Amino acid sequence: MSNVKNYTEQGGNRTVIGGELDITPEGKLAFDGTLLSPATLQADSTAVDVAGLVTDFNALLAKLKTAGLMNAE
């Protein structure tokens, strides 16, 4: 039994992160060729009606898509 938290299995098909993965500012994280980044802050909604809430929600969805955290289509 090993006490190593982070390792790549033999053959390289699976990497296990049991510790912390720290991506430096120079580092990149991609999923299926799409670069991922933190989403831009979405302010708390102050909507007073459904139409305002829809606008706020759509803004959040756009930020998630731009960050690569949600597929655009």
Structural domain for 41, as ranges: 6-66
Has residue 15 been placed in a domain?
A: yes
pLDDT > 90 fraction of the chain, expressed in percent and rounded:
70
Tell me how many domains the chain contains.
Answer: 1
Instruction: Identify residue 7 by its one-letter amino acid code.
Output: Y
Query: Which of 21, 20, 11, 68 is CA-nearest to residue 40?
Result: 68
Quick check: is 73 in a domain?
A: no
The mean pLDDT value of the chain amounts to: 92
Which residues are CB-neighbours of 73 under 8 A, at least 6 positions away? none
In a domain, 72, yes or no: no
pLDDT, tens only, 2-37 = 688 999 999 999 999 999 999 998 999 998 888 888
Can you give the pTM of this predicted structure? 0.66
